[in-house]
Amino acid sequence: MTFQVIYANLQRAMAVFDLWVVNLAKLFVVALLATVLAGVFWRSFGHPLSWTDEASGYLMVWTACLGWIMATRRHAHIHIRFFQDHMPRSMREPCQLLIELMVIVFGCFVASKSVHLVMVNSDIEATSMPISAAWLYAPLLPAGLVTAGQALVDFGRRWNGERESES
């Protein structure tokens, strides 16, 4: 198999992954909306559901992490380039490489700490739902891994002289 074939297959796999994340995020937004509405509806009749507030918190964390993954994959996070734009041109690319390295470290840190948090909380039950409190921290693992992986790809592209579109 040539490098081009492997690269094309990887791009197709990432396109499927991106589509899966977007659809999962849509599902979580709908679930979050339904949960909040159920809580508001039943509370207005004087019969609040005990689980809706906690479930909303879990769903919010998962939704936020899915949004984090989507933004990372699309390069949609905010870039404040004030200081880079005022650097000598010869320093801009090394600075960007350093930033990519720091993002790799950050993603790995988040992923490793999420494993610790899941393990520590795996035997603790949520307050109002019969699920493990570890589910609150579980989405940090894929978010950290995607962040580190995307930064690694971006670092490789920059190292090889490819320019990414800055928006």
Provide the residue type at 95 as one letter.
C
User: Tens of pLDDT along 2-14?
Assistant: 878 888 888 999 9
Kindly report the backbone phi and psi dihedral angles of residue 48, in degrees, each rounded to the nearest multiple of 5, phi listed first: -65, 145
SS3 at position 125: strand
Provide the pLDDT for residue 8: 87
Whether the pTM exceeds 0.85: the reply is: yes
Kindly report the average pLDDT of the chain as a whole number: 93
User: Tens of pLDDT along 34-63?
Assistant: 999 999 999 999 999 999 999 999 999 999
Provide the pLDDT for residue 167: 37
Q: Per-residue pLDDT averaged across 95-119, rounded?
A: 97
Q: State the alpha helices, DSSP H only, in the chain.
A: 3-44, 52-74, 82-85, 89-121, 140-159
- The C-alpha atoms of residue 117 and residue 146 are separated, in whole angstroms, by 18
- The C-alpha atoms of residue 18 and residue 6 are separated, in whole angstroms, by 18
Provide the pLDDT for residue 81: 86
Provide the pLDDT for residue 80: 87
User: Tens of pLDDT along 65-89?
Assistant: 999 999 999 999 888 888 888 999 9
Provide the pLDDT for residue 140: 98
**Above 70 in pLDDT, residue 166?**
no
Provide the pLDDT for residue 163: 67
CA end-to-end span of the chain, whole Å? 35
